[in-house]
Structure 1
Amino acid sequence: SHIWQMLQRMGIREEALEQSVNAEVAENLDFCCTVIEMHAIEKAVASIDEAIQNSCMVRRKHAESRSTAQFVDTTVLQGQLPNLPEALHPSLAGVRSQYRVYEEFVKIQRLITNPNEAAAASPAVLPVESQKQARPTVVPSGIASGGAASNDISGQVENLRALLAQIDKMSMKEGSADSYAQLQHDSELKKLVQTVFEIIDSKVPVSNVASSEQCAKQVFLSMLQGAANKLRVGIYLALLEKLNAL
């Protein structure tokens, strides 16, 4: 616009004026785009710096103090924590109990990968576990291979995941309830959840050092992270509360 007005004041003809402006714009188009891009980057950097300034300052002060105390970000106490069981809440005084939960996950994953090696490494545990009598539980048809649940840890995990997959499918189709407490007593979804309760209560023995409670805790927490609606979240929280009550 400025070039157009300047050339008009110089008395250039209309045809030459338009050609001159188009040529000038074409030659400087890359330069204009670069200026716009640089301005956008500077604005984005300023916005990001402003958003993370407080968090960075808190962490910098803790690092500069050279304190032996563990750093705790208090912002993790906000959000969905009120919906989780008390045992899963992070603690400002330390996270040793929560850290042990993740150590158990690592043990379970290693035992699932090498079940024979884990069983051979702890022969003294096997006779004790084999003496436990498991209460019979009702497992829907098609869940366990051959109609019977496997007693080894990998079989239990697979059977439990299959049950929870059915619960996920049914909860997505359930439209009359927004929470586990609102489910009708005679609904198929609630009966399936009760079946999982029975499996938890039965404490099916395993053939290695990991316990069935640890297996269930790992599966429930992994499925809770992928829960997409309030009903599914409520069901997994109820299962975790049942497990913590043992």
Structure 2
Amino acid sequence: MLPSALADLIGFHAPLSVVQRGQGGAVTLLTPGVNVLALNATFLPGDVGGVDLRDVQDWHEGQGLPPLVAWVGGEVPAGLKVQEVARVRVGDWAGEAGPPDDPVVVEQVGRLHLSAWAGALCAAHGTPGWAEGLARQLAGPLEAAAGAFALLMAYRDGQPVGALLWQARGAGGAAHLWGAADAGVGEALLNAAAALGADLAVTLPGDARWDGPSVRAVTEVRYGLLIPVPGEATRGG
């Protein structure tokens, strides 16, 4: 069984992905042409003994993508050999209203603004060249899931400085795909997303700058590239 934090990420990203695949308790999402980690990773259970890791590697590479995997916790699961590339934290965000003189304004925009939204998101992550591919990929899924997602954009002095994708979940929601020019913009985006529902599940950067009264129940998620080990058993390492 997958840890709840990984199941939460899959629930958010699966409707946006191109390919979904299950194998030995692991779940793979692949989306060529998009650089979002969670859209191009195999999510691993805590015990990888039932996962054929060589098959995972071969399958990723067969799609022309690196063998990226995600797992939960501070320790690498036994039998898993990886080169860590990123870590994030998944938890709950308790939103609060910003000050009335907040220079950051957050607005909900329609799908006609998807290109500008993707541009703001990718610029916030320092990867503006991926904006066109991201907008192209998300256009179909967002249209098919009309009403299930909302696009938020943040502006400062009239200029876009961040973007967030919110997913409706019962009385609450989730925001696992977002980017902001700085922490102030990020907090404004997350607070606006939290106002759309009763609860907000969110992915936060890996550092501790975000610790505070707004953050609860945080679980660390790590991403890494599988390291092939010739001669060893492929199942569980």
**TM-score tier after normalising by the smaller chain length:** under 0.3
Q: Which has the higher contact order (CA 8 A, sep 6+)?
A: 2
Higher share of residues assigned strand: 2
